Copies of this chain bind each other. A is one copy, B any other.
């Protein structure tokens, strides 16, 4: 299903950026992918302090784009789980390359040194571990 945004052209980069090309969307994907965050308040608690209307808007767009999916919390109807679809998990290689670029050109990010070291030694392993963790959570929750 298509986003209702009119594509600017039929270039793959343009189309991807129509979906993901803002400062917040990929941070939500990051939280889903790497930080085991699945609920609205967890995303709100990320260090960048996203605004509530922006978070709501981005989650909605990710669901519409089928990059993420949502389900009502099994025990508490006030809460929702968000999680990545296969389409969303498939963004991992791009995010890994983004992080590898950052390892070289943004080396001083204190919080990233552990991740940078792992990416340097075995990016394949990082990828496998992330996917394993995502699937494990889904087995338990979906």
Interface positions of A (Cβ within 8 A of B): 8-18, 21-24, 26-27, 30, 46-49, 87, 90-91, 93-106, 109-112, 115-116
Asked if B93 and A100 make an inter-chain contact with CB atoms under 8 angstroms apart, the answer reads yes
- In the assembly, how many copies of this chain are there? 2
Contacts of A48 in B (CB 8 A): 8-9, 11, 14
* A109 and B13 in contact, given A94-B97, A97-B97, A101-B94 (Cβ under 8 angstroms): no
Asked if A101 and B105 make an inter-chain contact with CB atoms under 8 angstroms apart, the answer reads no
Asked if A26 and B15 make an inter-chain contact with CB atoms under 8 angstroms apart, the answer reads no
Asked if A12 and B102 make an inter-chain contact with CB atoms under 8 angstroms apart, the answer reads yes
Mind listing 26 A-B residue pairs with CB under 8 Å?
A8-B49, A9-B48, A9-B111, A10-B47, A11-B27, A12-B115, A12-B116, A13-B26, A13-B27, A13-B30, A13-B98, A13-B99, A13-B102, A14-B47, A14-B48, A15-B102, A15-B106, A15-B109, A16-B98, A21-B22, A21-B26, A90-B105, A94-B94, A94-B97, A94-B101, A97-B97
Asked if B11 and A112 make an inter-chain contact with CB atoms under 8 angstroms apart, the answer reads yes
Asked if B93 and A11 make an inter-chain contact with CB atoms under 8 angstroms apart, the answer reads no
Report how far A17 CA is from B8 CA in the complex, Å. 21
Q: Considering only CB atoms, which chain B residue lies closest to A33 in the complex? A: B13
